[in-house]
C-alpha cells in the first residue's frame, strides 16, 4: 500500500505516523504532505527518513490518505483526494458534523457502507472519548440527556498551542514580559479560560458548537446535550466530567459492567488524571457515582490523550476497511 498523511508535520499527523508504525497494514510507501513551511523537512518512518511533500497532487496514486491538517487545509485536501479518487479518512474533525459524510465513532458497530465509501469522518479528542463511553451505555440503558464539561489542554491547538503555553510559562516564571500566545487566542498559563474559540451572541463557543454537533451524530438526535468547554494550562490530554441521565433505573454496578466490555476503555484507576492518560490511546474512566440531583442519573470522569486516541482510531478504521476488500 501507498499511504499519505496530509498534515504530517503537525501534532495529529505525528501521532498518526506513530500509530502507522505499529499497524499490520502492508505499507510499502509513505507520502507525508504538509505546507510550504515544512519544505525541506523530513519525517521518520520505520527507520527511514522521508522528505515532506508540499503539493496535494502527490495524493494521486496512493491507496489511502489520512487528513490531519487544520480544517481549512483539510477541506482543500478532501477536494484533491476526491479528484484523485483516493479514499480518505478525515482525522481533523473538519467534516465530523457534516451529515453527508459517514461518521465512524465506534468500530464495533460500524457497518460495511460506512467504511467502504470514498470519504469517512472521525470524531476527534473529546467527542471520540465521550462516544466510546456513552454510546454503549445508551444502547443498553436508553440515554436521555448528557451534561458535559470539557477541560482541554494546549495540545488541542496543536504543536503551536503547546509551544505557546511553554513560552508563556517560562516568561512568567522568569519575570519577563509574556509573549502573545496567538495559537491559543489568549494567555492561559496559570489560568483557566472559560471558552475555546469565538463565542456567539447566544454565549456558545465554537468548540461547544462543534462538540455538540458531533455528539448528536454519534449518540442520536433524541439525546439532550449541554456542554461547556474550558482551556486549561496543561500541555496534553483532556479531562471530561459527564452527567448522564438514562431512560431506566440503573445501578452503578451495571454501568461498570457494561463499560468493562468496551475495547479501549480503562477502568483500573478510581480517579484517573490527564497526566495518567498522556501517550495512551485508551479512555480512562473513573469516579463513577450516582447523580444525587437525578433519579436515573450517573456521574463519570474521563481522561484521555485526544491526539493519541484519534490517531489510533483512524488506523483501526483503515485496518477494518482494508480487511473487507
Residue 145: which pLDDT band, with cuts at 50, 70 and 90? very high
Q: Please list, in sequence order, all residues whose beta carbon lies within 8 angstroms of the beta carbon of residue 168, skipping any fewer than 6 positions away.
A: 178, 179, 181, 187, 188, 189
Residues 110 and 151 in one domain: no
* DSSP-based three-state secondary structure for 310: helix
Residues 176 and 80 in one domain: no
C-alpha cell of residue 306: 485526544
Residues 148 and 290 in one domain: yes
* CATH classification at residue 186: 3.30.360.10
* DSSP-based three-state secondary structure for 109: coil
The C-alpha atoms of residue 127 and residue 103 are separated, in whole angstroms, by 12
Residues 273 and 139 in one domain: yes
Q: Please report the pLDDT score of residue 113 as a whole number.
A: 60
Q: Please list, in sequence order, all residues whose beta carbon lies within 8 angstroms of the beta carbon of residue 110, skipping any fewer than 6 positions away.
A: 104, 317, 320
Residue 156: which pLDDT band, with cuts at 50, 70 and 90? confident
Q: Please list, in sequence order, all residues whose beta carbon lies within 8 angstroms of the beta carbon of residue 155, skipping any fewer than 6 positions away.
A: 11, 161, 162, 235, 236, 237, 306, 307
Biggest CA pair distance of the chain: 60
Contact at 8 Å (CB) between 256 and 267?
yes
155, burial (CB in 10 Å: exposed 0-12, middle 13-18, buried 19+): buried
* CATH classification at residue 46: 3.40.50.720
174, burial (CB in 10 Å: exposed 0-12, middle 13-18, buried 19+): exposed
Q: What is the mean pLDDT of the chain?
A: 92
Residues 114 and 141 in one domain: no
Residues 284 and 196 in one domain: yes
SS3 string, 117-143, reads CCEEECCCHHHHHHHHHHHHHHHHHCE
Residues 143 and 77 in one domain: no
Q: The domain containing residue 72 runs over which residues?
A: 2-123+311-322
Q: How many percent of the chain have pLDDT more than 70?
A: 97
Residues 56 and 137 in one domain: no
Residues 173 and 28 in one domain: no
Sheet (strand 88-90) strand order: 29-33, 2-6, 64-67, 88-90, 119-121
Look at the chain and report how many structural domains it folds into. Answer: 2
pLDDT score of 80 more than 90? yes
* DSSP-based three-state secondary structure for 149: strand
The C-alpha atoms of residue 87 and residue 38 are separated, in whole angstroms, by 24
pLDDT digits (tens, 9 = 90+) for 218-275: 999 999 999 999 999 999 999 999 999 999 898 999 999 999 999 999 998 788 999 9
Contact at 8 Å (CB) between 88 and 80?
no
pLDDT score of 309 more than 70? yes
Residues 136 and 277 in one domain: yes
Residues 154 and 282 in one domain: yes
pLDDT digits (tens, 9 = 90+) for 265-293: 999 878 899 999 999 999 999 999 999 99
Residues 318 and 298 in one domain: no
Amino acid at each position: 500500500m501507498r499511504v499519505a498523511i496530509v498534515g504530517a508535520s503537525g501534532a495529529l499527523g505525528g501521532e498518526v505516523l506513530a500509530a502507522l508504525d505499529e499497524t499490520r497494514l502492508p505499507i510499502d510507501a509513505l507520502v507525508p504532505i504538509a505546507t510550504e513551511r515544512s519544505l525541506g523537512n523530513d519525517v521518520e518512518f520505520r527507520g527511514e527518513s522521508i522528505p515532506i511533500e508540499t503539493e496535494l497532487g502527490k495524493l494521486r496514486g496512493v491507496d489511502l490518505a489520512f487528513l490531519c491538517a487544520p480544517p481549512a487545509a483539510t477541506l482543500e485536501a478532501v477536494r484533491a483526494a476526491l479528484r484523485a479518487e483516493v479514499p480518505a479518512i478525515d482525522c481533523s474533525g473538519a467534516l465530523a458534523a457534516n451529515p453527508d459524510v459517514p461518521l465512524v465513532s465506534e468500530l464495533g458497530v460500524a457497518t460495511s457502507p460506512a467504511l467502504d465509501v470514498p470519504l469517512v469522518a472521525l470524531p476527534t479528542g473529546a467527542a471520540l472519548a465521550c462516544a466510546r463511553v456513552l454510546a454503549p451505555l445508551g444502547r443498553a440503558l436508553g440515554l436521555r440527556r448528557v451534561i458535559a464539561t470539557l477541560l482541554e489542554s494546549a495540545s488541542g491547538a496543536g504543536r503551536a498551542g503547546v509551544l505557546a503555553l511553554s513560552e508563556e510559562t517560562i516568561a512568567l516564571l522568569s519575570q519577563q514580559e509574556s509573549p502573545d500566545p496567538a495559537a491559543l487566542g489568549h494567555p492561559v498559563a496559570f489560568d483557566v479560560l472559560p471558552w475555546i474559540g469565538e463565542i456567539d451572541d447566544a454565549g456558545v463557543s465554537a468548540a461547544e458548537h462543534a462538540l455538540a454537533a458531533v455528539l448528536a451524530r454519534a449518540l442520536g438526535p433524541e439525546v439532550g446535550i449541554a456542554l461547556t468547554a474550558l482551556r486549561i494550562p496543561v500541555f496534553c490530554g483532556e479531562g471530561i466530567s459527564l452527567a448522564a441521565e438514562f431512560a431506566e433505573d440503573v445501578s452503578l454496578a451495571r454501568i461498570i459492567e457494561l463499560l468493562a466490555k468496551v475495547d479501549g476503555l480503562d477502568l483500573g484507576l478510581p480517579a484517573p488524571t490527564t497526566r495518567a492518560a498522556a501517550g495512551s490511546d485508551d479512555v480512562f474512566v473513573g469516579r463513577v457515582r450516582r447523580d444525587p440531583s437525578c433519579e436515573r442519573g450517573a456521574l463519570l470522569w474521563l481522561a484521555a490523550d485526544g491526539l493519541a486516541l484519534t490517531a489510533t482510531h483512524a488506523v483501526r478504521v483503515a485496518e477494518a476497511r482494508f480487511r473487507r476488500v
